[in-house]
Amino acid sequence: MGMPIIEGYVVERLIKEGGFGSVYLVKRMLDKKTYAIKILHPKINLQAKARAQFAKEISLLSSLSHPYIVKVFGPVKDAPRAAMLMEYFESETLKELLVRKAPLLEEKGVGVFRRICEALKYLHECKIVHKDIKPENILVAANGEVRLIDFSIAEEINFWATLRTILQMRKRDGTPLYMSPEQVKKETVDGRSDIYSLGAAFYQVFGGRPHITAGSEKALLQQHLKAVVPKMRNFNKKVPHQLDAIVMRMLQKHKEERYQSMSEVLFDLNRYTSEDRIGKASEDTTERVGKATEDTAEESKAAKVEESKAKK
């Protein structure tokens, strides 16, 4: 598939090819600025339902404004197929980063975790559930900045969402490894579903492996409902106990037993990072005091030697 011709834009290169569409790096001739354009594949563009879903995603994302959610400026009217104009964010996906550096702990991993928590807190306050939180949908820049992307199956929490569940019109959507138990059972979802999915994603980030494994998709879905998830420290002893406890609570199978909001997750995460900084500062202070004591002892010993020589 060649580069699309989009009036008013110079298409420079392909950024990403997906099953739904392609993302291109472009320069807008009007302001000479760099953007990204997501455009539907020709066959997908022929499907009225796919075009409607894409239009809904554009409308939803255009209404959002948060530093850690990809900015969408609206539809591209002169494109050959349905397309959206987005900010260009120089980055790689968290999945790509994990291929090179898993497990990712330390400050960068926790920093990415915190920023995505903040993005989801904002999203849930807007009464929207993402429904497809996974490492592939998190962009990470070299400096640790992030963007949450791909809202193609995001859902507004409202009366109609509940009605679809009552009338059994809800389909199972999401990515099998990261689906919440509610998604597996085709129940109505809320922010707690994203909390589970985020826990699944960052279990993999910090622990270095998925929280569940199975030989087939059907078996994997059942694992979300029945499997006993081991602590991350079983696979990575560097994971602090407090961080392990946060992620394990996010992964509770019953939504009532999870954190009830992203605000609660952030409260515990902030408490953990504060205690971690205090602990490290205390260790540094102890080390400095110990070194100073050793230096003082050495100086005292040297002075006594000199005094002894002077007496002789």
pTM of the entire predicted model: 0.85
Coil, helix or strand for 214? coil
For 212-248, b where at least 16 C-beta lie within 10 A, e where not — what string?
bebeeeeebbebbeeeebeebbeebeebbeebbebbb
Q: Which of 177, 173, 189 is nearest to 227 (CA)?
A: 177
pLDDT at 247: 98
CATH 1.10.510.10-classified regions of the chain? 92-273
The residues assigned a catalytic role are 132
Question: Rounded to the nearest 5 degrees, what angle is found at the Cα of 243, between the Cα atoms of 232 and 155?
Answer: 90
pLDDT at 159: 66
CA-CA distance, 266 to 262, in Å (whole number)? 6
Name the CATH code of domain 9-87 (choices 3.30.200.20, 3.40.630.30, 3.40.980.20, 3.30.360.10).
Answer: 3.30.200.20
Q: Would you mind telling me the total number of residues written for the chain in this entry?
A: 312
pLDDT at 162: 63
CA-CA distance, 200 to 222, in Å (whole number)? 15
Question: Which parts of the chain register pLDDT below 50?
Answer: 281-286, 289, 292-293
100: exposed, middle or buried (Cβ count in 10 Å: 0-12, 13-18, 19+): exposed
**Is 92-273 CATH 3.30.530.20?**
no
> Is the peptide bond between 103 and the residue preceding it cis, with omega within 30 degrees of 0?
yes
Token pair recorded at residue 197? 């999915």
Strands (E), 191-282: none
pLDDT at 167: 59
Coil, helix or strand for 1? coil
CA-CA distance, 92 to 149, in Å (whole number)? 12
CATH 3.30.200.20-classified regions of the chain? 9-87
Q: Which of 87, 83, 88, 80 is nearest to 7 (CA)?
A: 80
- For 14-29, write each residue's pLDDT tens digit: 998 888 899 999 999 9
